[in-house]
Amino acid sequence: MRHAVAIALCLAVVTTSQAHTTIVHAAQMYDGRSETPRKDVSVVVEDGRIAAIESGRVHRAGAEFVDLGTATLVPGFIDCHVHVAAKLPSRTNAVEDLLSHSDIDRAFEGAVFARAMLQQGFTTVRDLGGGDDTVALKHAIEAGHVDGPRILAALEPLGPTAGHGDARSGLDAALNHVGWDNGRVDSAADARLRVREHRRRGADVIKIMPSGGIASTGDDPRQQLMTDDEMRSAVETAHALGMKVAAHIYPAQAIEAAVRAGIDSVEHGSFATDQTFDLMKSKGVFLVPTLSVYDVFYDAARDHPDLLTPGTAAKELANDRLPKQNLPRALRSGVRIAYGTDLGEGDHTLEFKLLTDGGIAPLAALRAATSDAAELLGLGDSTGAIAVGLSADLVAVPGDPAEDASRLRHANFVMRAGTIYRRDNHAVARD
C-alpha cells in the first residue's frame, strides 16, 4: 500500500512539472536585441521562464504545444510611461472626475485599462503618476487576482506648489484633499522626505516635475519650476534607495539641469535642442517621447475643450504638435529612445506608428519597446528579450514587423511569465 502511495505521489509531481511546460513554435522570431530574425523556432517555457530556444518543431512528453503558424514571435512590449487609471480626455470631464472619484474607484477603473494593455501585448508598464490605487492594483496583478501587465509604480509625481502636479491649481482655494500634498516639494528637504515616503508606501521609481506642463492649469511648460537643489536632493535620495528617477520636462534649460542632477530618463522633452540631446547622450539618459498623448490631447482640445482642465485647451493646441517635429532631432543625436505613451485608457500600440512616422526604423521601435525599455527600467536581466533565463513574456504578431511596423499593433498571442492571456486573437478566459 505504501509503495502504491509513493508511486502516486511521484506521478503527481511529474504531472505537475509537465503541466508547467509550454512550447511555443513560430515561423519567425525577433529576440528584441538582434535585427536578424530566427526562422522556424520553438521557445520552451518552464515555470514562467524561457528554458530553451531550439530550431524546428520541438515536442516534449506532457508539454503543451502552441503553434503560431506564420506569425512572428517578439518579446512582450513595455510601456515606460503610463497612468494606468487615466481616462481618455475626449470622454471625461477632467475636473468632475478629479472631484467625484476616489482611489478605490480608480483602482477598479485601472484594472479594466490594465487588462486592455495586456491584451494589446504590453506585459510590463511603468506607471508615472498614480497613488495607493496603483500599488494596490500592482499587488492584485502579482497575486493573480486580476489580469494585467507587471507594474512599476511611481506614486504621485514630485513637484512644487502651483506646478504641473498641483491638483489645487484652477480650483476653489478652499478645497482640500489629504492626498493632494503627497507629491508637494518646495525645498530640498521636502524632496528628500517625499522620496522616502514614496518608498515606504511601495514606490518602485520616482517621478519629478522640473518644468511646467500642458494639461494643467496656470503653469508654463517653458519654465523650470523645481530648483536645481530640489532635483538633486530627490535624485540622490532615490538612487540611494535603489530607485530610478523619471523627469517630466519640456524646456531645454530645465532638461539640462535635470540631467546634470542625475535623472535616468526625460519624459516628453518637447523643446530640447541639439545641445540638450548631446548632453543626454553623454550621460546615458533615455528619452521617452510619449507622442501618443499629444495626439490624443490635441484632438480633445480641438473637439472637446470643455472637458479639459480649465485654461489648458489653448496650451494643448499651441504645443502638442512640437514633439513630432522635434523627434528627428533626437534621432540624429543618437540619444537612446524608450517606448512610452502617457496613456491609461486607450490604444498603447499607437506609439509604434508615431515613432516610425517620425523616422524610427520598425525594428528600432520594437527595441524601444522591449530590450531598450527593459534597460531603462532596470529589468534587462529579467525581461525585454527572448533569451534563456528571462521571463517568458512573448507576443505574436501577423507577418514580418520589420517590413511593416503596423503589424506590431495586432497582437494575436500574448504570454506573460509563462501564462497565456491571448490566443488565436482572443482573450483567454481564466478561472
- Whether 245 and 346 map to the same domain: the answer is yes
Q: Which residue range forms the structural domain that includes residue 31?
A: 2-75+385-427
Q: Do residues 59 and 96 share a domain?
A: no
Contact between 113 and 81 under an 8 Å Cβ cutoff? The reply is: no
Q: Which of 377, 394, 417 is the last residue of a domain?
A: 377
Q: Are residues 193 and 311 both part of a single domain?
A: yes
Judgement on whether residues 297 and 204 belong to the same structural domain of the protein: yes
* 235 and 262 fall within a common domain: yes
Which residue in 296, 287, 271 sits closest to 89, CA to CA?
Answer: 296
Please report the pLDDT score of residue 176 as a whole number.
87
Q: What is the pLDDT of residue 429?
A: 76
**377, 402, 417 — which closes off a domain?**
377
pTM: 0.94
Helix (H, G, I), strand (E, B) or coil at 127: strand
In a domain, 274, yes or no: yes
Asked if the structure places residue 80 within a domain, the reply is no
Total domains in the chain come to 2
Same domain, 52 and 125: no
> 190 and 234: one domain?
yes
- What is the edge-to-edge ordering of all strands in the sheet holding 286-288? 206-208, 245-251, 265-271, 286-288
SS3 content of the chain, % helix, strand, coil (to 5): 40, 20, 40
CATH no. for residue 216? 3.20.20.140
Q: Which three cell numbers stand for residue 226?
A: 523645481
**CATH number for the domain harbouring residue 415:** 2.30.40.10
Regarding whether 182 and 40 lie in a shared domain, the answer is no
Q: Are 115 and 148 in contact (CB under 8 A)?
A: yes
d(CA 274, CA 277): 5
pLDDT of residue 221: 96
Structural domain includes residue 220: yes
User: Domain check: are 99 and 169 in the same one?
Assistant: yes
| One domain, residues 210 and 249 | yes
**Chosen domain end from 377, 393, 414:** 377
Residue 282 lies in a domain: yes
User: What per-residue confidence (pLDDT) applies to 425?
Assistant: 87
What pLDDT is attached to residue 19? 53
Per-residue pLDDT of the chain (431 residues; tens, 9 = 90+): 444 444 444 444 444 334 589 999 999 999 999 999 999 999 999 999 999 999 999 999 999 999 999 999 999 999 999 999 999 999 999 999 999 999 999 999 999 999 999 999 999 999 999 999 999 999 999 999 999 999 999 999 999 999 999 999 999 889 989 899 999 999 999 999 999 999 999 999 999 999 999 999 999 999 999 999 999 999 999 999 999 999 999 999 999 999 999 999 999 999 999 999 999 999 999 999 999 999 999 999 999 999 999 999 999 999 999 999 999 999 999 999 999 999 999 999 999 999 999 999 999 999 999 999 999 999 999 999 999 999 999 999 999 999 999 999 999 999 999 999 999 989 997 76
The CA-to-CA distance between both ends of the chain, in Å, stands at: 35
Task: Give CA–CA dist 275/257, Å, rounded.
Answer: 12
Q: Are residues 238 and 168 in the same domain?
A: yes
Q: Are residues 227 and 343 in the same domain?
A: yes
